[in-house]
Amino acid sequence: MTQLEQAAKGNLTEEIKEISRIEQVEAAELQRHVMNGHVVILKGRYNRQKIVGIGMGLRTKINASIGTSTDVCNIDHEVQKAIIAEKHGADTLMELSAAGDLDRIRQEVLQAVSLPVGNVPLYQAFCETIKKYKDPARLDPEFLFDLIEKQCQDGMAFMAIHCGINLFTIERMKKQGYRYGGLCSKGGTLMIQWMIKNNRENPLYEHFDRVCDILKKYDTVLSLGNGIRAGAIHDSLDRAQMSELILNCELCELARQRGCQAMVEGPGHVPLDEIEANIILQKKMSNHAPYYMLGPLPTDIGAGWDHVTAAIGAAQSSMYGADLICYITPAEHLALPNEEDVATGVKVARLAAHIGDVVKFRGKADLADKKISMDRRDFKWNDLFKNLMFPEDARKILESRRSLTSRGCSMCGELCALKNAEVTLNRYLSDDKKNV
């Protein structure tokens, strides 16, 4: 049985108990959220089998994506990037290779990390079809379904499957007549091409019950892919994107009815003033299914610094109720990320998620912030480092630029506000006590 089905029977699974302990939430409440589809549970299939809960009442999680391309294909580099992503605190990993020995890459990545690993089955399906026939339109739906099952057997914890692209959504895009950012989903674009050339419905939509039953068999979480997401802020909330979101929310409900854990993906590039609206729509239409945010990027001019652009959008998303954030690296829109890009992307995304969680879970998520503030005030450097998200980075900067004074940092030296305030405040409080 899946985690959803066991929760529906009133069972407190070991996974629910573990997440309850890690996140400090009531196990019975968490079990109800899993039963209602408000939380999904992912776990790694090898090594230490890390368990991750995503959804209502839980800390906002971070996904890191790795994978080869037809221009850069080095298995060892991708495995190393996966290890680096886990080292720096990613909660989940997506293996998105689109070139090379895809079965081997998937197996090596799975063996290298304890994180729950996800993927996009359409990538391998189209890669192998193109390799064999030189034409993605010759994809055999039976091959696609067999491949989904094979990847589940290999140990995929979740899968981004593009079920919400169908003849209706394509018609909406056609009638709309424009797209400033075009289409930015590899799998989604190839599926649209397949549908148009074959004049057929998307088999992943047409046989959605089959998709659910395969994933349910392995308790692989269905992540309803966002194939028509906005690739430009001026495409945000357009009819094409919204039609797919409506379908994905509907399909999410159907998946849960079949006992399959599911979450919804979205939305790409979104201006700041539309992020909250996007999340409200998704949560309301999906009955509060977990929302996996790709970005969002609130401007299109930040290439080279889009990890910062995305962090601004991610912090807002986390605050308004997003549950899983896909990191963006400095290489976004420019190149395949290297190892340093992966480390930077994970760190920035973690900070962004925490900023949102401070608002969502006031009095719980911000406890470390309060402790750090007091330790900074009292110059307790060692205690401060213990609560920082990235203590090694902070210590390296401090020690490389030692203060001339014995207590403060070199930013202000003898004019340190905290040091001078400490003297003044202590004298003021002492005099105040005398007056009392």
Which CATH number characterizes residue 130's domain? 3.20.20.540
Lowest mean per-residue pLDDT among 37-51, 79-93, 197-211, 246-260: 37-51
pLDDT over threshold 70, residue 428? no
pLDDT at 434: 52
Say whether both 140 and 168 belong to one domain: yes
When pLDDT is averaged across residues 159-177 and rounded to a whole number, the result is 94
Q: How confident is the model at residue 152 (pLDDT cuts 50, 70, 90)?
A: very high
Unique residue bearing structure tokens 């018609």:
171
pLDDT at 135: 97
Say whether both 305 and 395 belong to one domain: no
Q: Output the 3-class SS for 79-144.
A: HHHHHHHHHCCCCEEEECCCCCCHHHHHHHHHHHCCCCEEECHHHHHHHHHHHHHCCHHHCCHHHH
When pLDDT is averaged across residues 265-278 and rounded to a whole number, the result is 96
pLDDT at 409: 84
CB distance 190 to 130 below 8 Å: no
Say whether both 156 and 181 belong to one domain: yes
pTM for the full predicted model:
0.94
Say whether both 408 and 356 belong to one domain: no
Domain count, the chain: 2
pLDDT at 263: 98
Task: Identify the domain boundary among 360, 388, 412.
Answer: 360
pLDDT over threshold 70, residue 48? no
Q: How confident is the model at residue 418 (pLDDT cuts 50, 70, 90)?
A: confident
pLDDT over threshold 80, residue 429? no
Say whether both 156 and 193 belong to one domain: yes
What's the mean per-residue pLDDT of the chain? Answer: 94
Say whether both 261 and 407 belong to one domain: no
Say whether both 290 and 371 belong to one domain: no
Task: Identify the domain boundary among 360, 378, 394.
Answer: 360
Tens of pLDDT, residue by residue over 309-341, are: 999 999 999 999 999 999 999 999 999 999 999
pLDDT over threshold 70, residue 406? no
Say whether both 173 and 292 belong to one domain: yes
Lowest mean per-residue pLDDT among 21-35, 45-59, 280-294, 312-326: 45-59
Element (H, E) at 5: helix 3-8
Residue 337, SS3 per DSSP? coil
Range of the domain at 412: 367-435
Say whether both 299 and 410 belong to one domain: no
Say whether both 282 and 410 belong to one domain: no
Element (H, E) at 244: helix 239-257
pLDDT at 57: 97
pLDDT over threshold 80, residue 296? yes
Say whether both 229 and 259 belong to one domain: yes
Task: Identify the domain boundary among 335, 360, 385.
Answer: 360
Tens of pLDDT, residue by residue over 103-117, are: 999 999 999 999 999
